[in-house]
Amino acid sequence: MVNRTALITGAARGIGYEVAKALATNGAKVVLADLRQDEVGQAAESLRQLGCEAVGVKCDVTVEEEVKQAIHEAVKRWGHLDIVVNNAGLQYVANIEDFPTEKFEQLIRVML
């Protein structure tokens, strides 16, 4: 992973953080992106304390401009972006007949 730069969405905690940690501890420079600005900053700091190159950015994956800003951050800091992990996600559980259209559309915007 040396000389690779990665952007991981949904990286403030959970699977996203662990993916970022795995990439970073194997030499990648990582941009952790998440809705939770304070948490993603703390997550990036914890990786820096391990000697990794990491930055946390606030990013709502349903807002195109915020995604572009996260990509720009990687390129500005390290000159390129090699890996993108689209980990951001959410879950809404309901019977199909009770599943609201707006919730379905939100799931699609976040997951895709």
The per-residue pLDDT for range 73-107, each reduced to its tens digit, is 999 999 999 999 999 999 889 999 999 999 999 99
Sheet holding 83-85, edge to edge: 54-58, 29-34, 5-9, 83-85
* Domains along the chain with CATH numbers: 5-111 (3.40.50.720)
The per-residue pLDDT for range 30-52, each reduced to its tens digit, is 999 999 999 999 999 999 999 99
Query: Can you tell me the distance from the alpha carbon of 26 to that of 23, in angstroms, rounded to the nearest whole number?
Result: 5
